[in-house]
Amino acid sequence: MKEIFERRSIRKYIDKPVDDEDIQKLLRAGMYAPSAGNEHPWHFVVVKNRETLHKIPAFHPYTSMLNEAPLAIVVCGDTSNLKYDGMFWIQDIAACVQNILLEGQHLGLGTCWCGVYPREELIKGVSELLNLPDHIKPVAIVAVGHPAEEREVKERYKEDRVHYELW
């Protein structure tokens, strides 16, 4: 799938909104991620409000692209009814975020994954800003928009990172 190899983090966006149909496609892709025990712990907060988008970089130092991005998808995990002693929900959310990034690439959108979890100060900032219930944990903020930059695609495969059978 070419999207895997071509996707790059985009931090500059043109002033153009993301279509609601494309937002729905991004969310749908996220919800099709694999999930331990078919738990599907994800919830999403779609943020388009410019004032809200501007507030996030005030407490999250790696989200300055939200000053330009027309949209952020905050991907959260519901910790209220976890299976397997709560061991795998974070992996489920990571797979969900990756699906959103790949769908964004497929749609010709730029995306950037900004981590939140497990940094308590970031969790607190996002939770308070978006009025999240205690059992909903923000894991990532995905900036989304029409790209105003192109990022070079470099070869990332490294044979020296591959081990067969034993180290």
The pTM score is 0.96
Answer for the pair 108, 58: CB distance below 8 angstroms, yes or no. no
C-alpha 93/C-alpha 34 separation (Å) is 9
CA contacts within 13 A on the Cβ side of 77: 24
C-alpha 18/C-alpha 123 separation (Å) is 26
Question: Do strands 42-47 and 110-115 pair parallel, antiparallel, or not at all (unpaired)?
Answer: unpaired
Q: Which fold has domain 2-149?
A: NADH Oxidase (3.40.109)
Q: What is the pLDDT of residues 2-47, one digit of tens each?
A: 999 999 999 999 999 999 999 999 999 999 999 999 999 999 999 9
> Domain spans of the chain?
2-149
Q: Look-up: residue for tokens 């519901």?
A: 78
Q: What is the pLDDT of residues 56-111, one digit of tens each?
A: 999 999 999 999 999 999 999 999 989 898 999 999 999 999 999 999 999 999 99
Q: Determine the Cα angle at 149 with ends 12 and 19, to 5°.
A: 65
**Could you tell me which of 132, 7, 116 has the C-alpha nearest to residue 62?**
116
